[in-house]
Amino acid sequence: MKKVKIIINKTELDKILNRLTKLIVKKYKDLNNLAIVGIHTNGVYLAQRIVEKIKQLTNKKIKLGYIDITFYRDDIGYRKNIQQPKDTQIDFNIDNKDILLIDDVLFTGRTVRAAMEQLLEIGRPKTISVLVLIDRGLRELPIYAEFVGKKIATTHKQQIELLLKETGGDDTVVIYTK
């Protein structure tokens, strides 16, 4: 049996998201030019929650898109356990927009790189920033997240999982050793 440790509980998660929302509103002076793009799968749900929170806070409806980075992975041909691709859905013009990419965990930086590559093929945003719930370190690429929910030092043997209500979890983040 692997030992599973909760590092963020339900209340903490909501608090973190509230804090991040405030930071977003503070940073982006022109919220009308902001568009949020969630990275499948958990990034999508986090993006939905944050868009909702921004709406509650400012009464502004931020444009929301989803991105699946599967086709942009740099390890195709090297691993067999790649998830089924999902739809990338960005129904607005991203040219000159301020894009905020959202994902659950920032690790090697490869997912964000792939997402950026895809975004740049779809259009030419003015800026791209990154928001993650957890930054676990161990970067392999020069990628930087402007908005971080929580920083945790980890090792490669560890696994971090965000268990959201939307996927049948209980809104917690757990860590365990593989």
Which residues lie near another protein (CB under 8 A)? 68, 70-73, 75-89, 107-108, 117-118, 121-122, 138, 156, 159, 161
Q: Which is nearer to another protein, 21 or 118 (CB)?
A: 118
What does the DSSP assignment read for 76-92?
Answer: TTT-S--PPP---B--S
In the complex, the smallest distance separating the C-beta of residue 159 from another protein, rounded to whole angstroms, is: 7
Q: Which is nearer to another protein, 111 or 129 (CB)?
A: 111
Q: Which is nearer to another protein, 59 or 84 (CB)?
A: 84
* Cα 101 from Cα 64, distance rounded (Å): 10
Q: How many degrees, rounded to 5, is the angle at CA 172 between CA 168 and CA 174?
A: 105
Of the candidates 5, 17, 35, 48, the one whose C-alpha atom is nearest the C-alpha of residue 133 is 17
Q: Which is nearer to another protein, 57 or 82 (CB)?
A: 82
* Cα 71 from Cα 136, distance rounded (Å): 24
In the complex, the smallest distance separating the C-beta of residue 117 from another protein, rounded to whole angstroms, is: 7
In the complex, the smallest distance separating the C-beta of residue 156 from another protein, rounded to whole angstroms, is: 6
In the complex, the smallest distance separating the C-beta of residue 57 from another protein, rounded to whole angstroms, is: 32
In the chain, alpha helices (H): 10-27, 42-58, 110-122
